[in-house]
Amino acid sequence: MNTMLKLVAAVSTAALPLTAAEVTGKVSLKGTPPPEKVIAAVKADANCGKVAQGDAKTRIYLVGPDGGLANTIVYVKKGLEGKTFTAPATKVDIDQAGCMYQPYVSAAMVGQTLAIKNSDPFMHNVNVQPKVAGNKGFNIAQATQGKVDEKSFEKPELGIRFACNVHPWMIAYVSTFENPFFAVSDDKGNFTIKGDLPDGKYTLEAYHQKGGAVTQDIEVKGGKAKADFTIEVKAAQ
């Protein structure tokens, strides 16, 4: 290795934050969920029918082949009291495509920009009425393809509902947090929370829009921790 390369290697090692942590795990669903339903109204709609990508389906409990539950938000609920965090500059994209919100479940930090887009060549509106005081609601029309509106929320809130009044099946949920230590489980139920989370004891919560929340105490040691969660299917109401 020449001197220059050595220097680069030394600098990049030094730049790594000492507290870079990784909390990983899997969320599983216990119980048999009702089957997801095809939303027939998508293909039946004069506009949506032209852009529908296959059969649009409900996304209440999305379960992988080995029971992993998608769309569960895992976040640090306790252990960071008194600390403040700055929202990342990265934007959280929420798209309306084929008359469905994509993704169905998102997470953002308070103050982080949500870039809400209409990818369809006709109008959607985005109607959002948060429940927590300090979070401002909005109802915006996005008449043209490619239109993007940027919004953010100032307070933590679980499951802020995004709706479209033109297409009543179009629903998405956004949760906001005061710290950046959160992740949404993937289609196998796996999640990874990455960031400068110092070693120590924390309470994690796994929150699923339909199945509810479960908590677990963890200890991050040497920047690592592992936590698996089980969410139970809620009885039909």
Interface with Cu ion (CB under 5 A): 124, 164, 166-167, 170
Cα atoms found within 13 Å of the Cα of residue 103, Cβ hemisphere only: 18
| Nearer to Cu ion among residue 27 and residue 99 (C-beta) | 99
Backbone angles phi, psi at 119, to 5 degrees: -95, 0
Least distance to Cu ion, CB of residue 57, Å: 17
Nearest-approach distance from CB 117 to Cu ion, in angstroms: 12
CA–CA distance, 139 with 162 (Å, rounded to integer)? 10
Q: Which is nearer to Cu ion, 118 or 176 (CB)?
A: 118
b or e along 96-126 (b: 16 or more beta carbons within 10 Å of the residue's beta carbon)?
A: bebbbbebbbbbbbbebbbebbbbbebbbbb
Beta carbon of residue 172, minimum distance to Cu ion (angstroms, whole number): 11
Sign of torsion over alpha carbons 81, 26, 218, 235: positive
Q: How far is the CB of 167 from Cu ion (least distance, A)?
A: 4
Between 87 and 171, CB nearer to Cu ion = 171
- Select from 120, 77, 87 the least CA-distant residue to 214: 77
CB of 204 to Cu ion, least distance (A): 35
87 versus 123: smaller Cβ distance to Cu ion: 123
Q: Is the dihedral of CA 67, 78, 76, 92 positive or negative?
A: positive
Give the residue with the Cβ less far from Cu ion, 74 or 170: 170
Amino acid found at 162: F
